[in-house]
Chains A and B, each alone.
Chain A
Amino acid sequence: MTTKLVVDCSTGVVEEVELTEEELAQREADRIAFEAAEAARLAEEAEKAAKKAELLAKLGITEDDAKLLLS
């Protein structure tokens, strides 16, 4: 059973409420969307790191050298 905590700020009353079918479906859709976005982000980061390493190798300098040049 998946629940949510609902706080009525006008009264301070806290209720633990079971999620509806619609809310459960939304959670699943959000989870799938998040995992896809996360995979895309990680792929982009890996691609960026590979390109950076390739460029440094081509220039024959280290990352610290590059930082020094740009400082």
Chain B
Amino acid sequence: MPVTYKKIASVTVGAGGAASIDLTSIPATYTDIHCVFSIRGSQAQVYQQLQITFNNTTTGYSQRNLYGDGSTAVSNSLSGNHFFTDGVGANATVSTFGNGSIYVPNYAGSTNKSASLDLVTENNATLAYTQLYALLWSNTAAITSLKITAGSGTLNQHSTAVLYGISKS
């Protein structure tokens, strides 16, 4: 049976923290990629703002968001220099993390890139987030790098990211 879901790389943030995790030199040999991450950051909020960037390019990002925060359901649209999502920030319950993933079909193709993102944050209080985002990167270049950046503060120790490659056969 062919292996159709394969780990490409994984990384865990060390004791000093890190501003970002940069997954570079992503091989073009898969059909889709799937990046799974678990993040806690130092931002002084319940959430840790995260930015996701392809190929270190800061144009062409737009997203449709659907999220709940424990009391309200919200839908909105954003566009900007990166995709935006959240991890868990410094004000959330100690030792909790935000867990999410971004799935990019046809990442090495020559058309604009659509993607989906799902995420939950953990907090032992009412305020915690669930997010479902539809993403569009208006750029026809093959994706060769994916960066997860703390929009404010740094990514804490034990934050992880794992990149998988998915083949159609």
Binding site for B on A (CB under 8 A): 2-12, 14, 16, 19, 23, 27, 30-31, 34-35
Is there an interface contact between B24 and A6, defined as CB atoms closer than 8 Å? Answer: yes
How many residues of B are in contact with the other chain, CB < 8 A?
25
Is there an interface contact between A34 and B23, defined as CB atoms closer than 8 Å? Answer: no
C-alpha spacing A67/B22, complex, angstroms: 46
C-alpha spacing A7/B146, complex, angstroms: 10
Is there an interface contact between B151 and A9, defined as CB atoms closer than 8 Å? Answer: no
Is there an interface contact between B151 and A30, defined as CB atoms closer than 8 Å? Answer: yes
C-alpha spacing A3/B22, complex, angstroms: 11
Question: Residue of B at shortest CB range from A26?
Answer: B58
Is there an interface contact between A5 and B21, defined as CB atoms closer than 8 Å? Answer: yes
B3 to chain A, nearest CB (A): 17
C-alpha spacing A31/B16, complex, angstroms: 20
Q: Is B14 an interface residue (CB 8 A)?
A: yes
Q: Which of B5-13, B88-96, B114-122, B124-132 contacts A (4 or more CB under 8 A)?
A: B5-13
Complex contacts, A30 vs chain B, CB 8 Å:
51, 81-82, 149, 151-152
Q: Is B154 an interface residue (CB 8 A)?
A: yes
Complex contacts, A19 vs chain B, CB 8 Å:
19
Q: Is B70 an interface residue (CB 8 A)?
A: no
C-alpha spacing A8/B24, complex, angstroms: 5
Is there an interface contact between B24 and A7, defined as CB atoms closer than 8 Å? Answer: yes
Chain B 43-61, CB within 8 Å of chain A: the 1/0 string? 0000001010000000000
The answer to whether residues A31 and B9 also contact, given A3-B19, A5-B18, A19-B19 and a CB cut-off of 8 A, is no
Complex contacts, B81 vs chain A, CB 8 Å:
30
Complex contacts, B13 vs chain A, CB 8 Å:
5
Chain B 130-169, CB within 8 Å of chain A: the 1/0 string? 0000000000000000000101101000000001000000
Is there an interface contact between B22 and A4, defined as CB atoms closer than 8 Å? Answer: yes
C-alpha spacing A11/B24, complex, angstroms: 10
